[in-house]
Amino acid sequence: MMPEERRYKIISLLYDERSATVVDLCQQLNASEATVRRDLSLLEEEGKLERVHGGAIMKSNMPLDTEESFGEKEWSNQSEKRLIAEKAFTHLRDYESIFLDGGTTTLELAKLIGRSHIKLNVFTNAPTISAHIAKNEFVDLFLVGGKVRNNTLAIVGQMAIDTIRLFRLDKVFIGVNGISLDYGLTTQNFEEAQMKKAVLERGRERIILADATKFDKVALCQILPIAGIDEIITSALEDEEMKEALKQKGIRLTETEENVR
């Protein structure tokens, strides 16, 4: 078991049980006591749990939400997602190579690409997105293969990661569940977090598409620290402290035209 997967399982167990002993974790993870204690120390440093005598407990201020299905997400904040997608579309140039991951805001961008005549190489790990992009005859479309998650319909796993690492992408457009200055970019699923991380690492320009409800939210699995991106395209963001912090870190914040004051 990879260290990242083992630590994810520790957090998952704590989320379900609220607490766990070192002995229990050793048995469930088939890991040594030294390994488990080292993992607990690292996770405590990251603020994801609290060490107690003989084990650990879930940190009370670590917000973890259940993950909505793709269908549930698709119907939420639709107008904001369309405006974000329209703004993202203006970033595209003919003959670029781009990646769109399997989110509902990137889906709106895929619809715009499909209805246009822009010439692109488009990579995606989402069959739902590829169906829309394929309507544009000027696009060379690449669907990354691997395991399909039932909940989000995104393709994940080592096969997909190995494939995307073969390419260098001009722009990548990624959706996330949470954006936090402390915890960075997060999502609910470990495999999706690893896929998004691999994609972002291959992008020359790394762009997050997320409405304002995603800010100051933390999901279970970190994708990258906030410094690992170039731009966030979002709806109206009223948090001036967040805006200033992003500016100081050199991250462009683009709000949709309708919401800019």
Mark whether 43 and 146 lie in a shared domain.
Answer: no
Task: Spell out a b/e string for 97-131, using b for 16 or more CB atoms within 10 Å of the CB, else e.
Answer: bbbbbbbbbbbbbbbbbbeeebebbbbbbbebbbe
Furthest-apart CA atoms within the chain: distance in Å? 62
Higher pLDDT, 71 or 220: 220
158 and 243, same domain (yes or no): yes
- Among the residues of 68-212, which ranges form H helices? 70-74, 78-89, 104-115, 127-133, 158-164, 190-202
**Residue 239 domain-assigned (yes or no):** yes
Domain boundary among 33, 58, 83: 58
The domain containing residue 146 runs over which residues? 70-259
Residues 11 and 111 in one domain: no
Residue with the two structure tokens 């704590």: 14
Q: Are 108 and 156 within one domain?
A: yes
pLDDT digits (tens, 9 = 90+) for 149-190: 887 789 999 999 999 999 999 999 999 999 999 889 999 888
Tokens 């690893």 locate to 194
Q: Are residues 156 and 237 in the same domain?
A: yes
| 61 Cβ contact list (under 8 Å, min separation 6) | none
Whether 160 and 39 share a structural domain = no
Say which range, 60-69, 184-193, 199-208, has the weakest mean pLDDT.
Answer: 60-69
* Integer Cα distance of 231 and 182 in angstroms: 17
The pLDDT of residue 250 is above 90:
yes
d(CA 261, CA 246) in angstroms, rounded, equals 18
- Report which DSSP code applies to 210: -
What domain count does the chain have?
2
Q: What's 211's domain CATH number?
A: 3.40.50.1360
pLDDT of residue 59: 65
The pLDDT confidence band at residue 15, using thresholds 50, 70 and 90, is: low
**AA letter at 47:** G
Residue 209 lies in a domain: yes
In a domain, 33, yes or no: yes
Q: Is the whole-model pTM more than 0.95?
A: no
Is 85 a domain residue?
Answer: yes
- Closest to 225 measured CA to CA, from 249, 205, 195: 249
Token duo for residue 22: 């070192």
Does some domain include residue 193? yes
Please report whether residue 143 resides in a domain: yes
Domain with residue 30: its CATH number is: 1.10.10.10
Is the domain of 51 the same as that of 76? no
46 and 102 co-located in one domain = no
pLDDT at 75 over 60: no
Q: Quick check: is 63 in a domain?
A: no
pLDDT of residue 259: 44
Q: Do 46 and 98 fall into the same domain?
A: no
> Which of 170, 165, 86, 175 is CA-nearest to residue 126?
175
Burial class for 33, CB neighbours closer than 10 Å (0-12, 13-18, 19+): exposed
Together in a domain, 54 and 104: no
pLDDT band at 114 (very low <50, low <70, confident <90, very high): very high
- Check pLDDT > 80 for residue 78: no
The 10s digit of each residue's pLDDT in 122-142 is 999 999 899 999 999 999 999
Cα 161–164–169 angle (5° rounding)?
145
Answer yes or no: do 29 and 122 share one domain.
no
Does the pLDDT at position 192 exceed 70? Answer: yes
54 plus 77 within the same structural domain = no
The answer to whether residue 154 sits within a structural domain is: yes
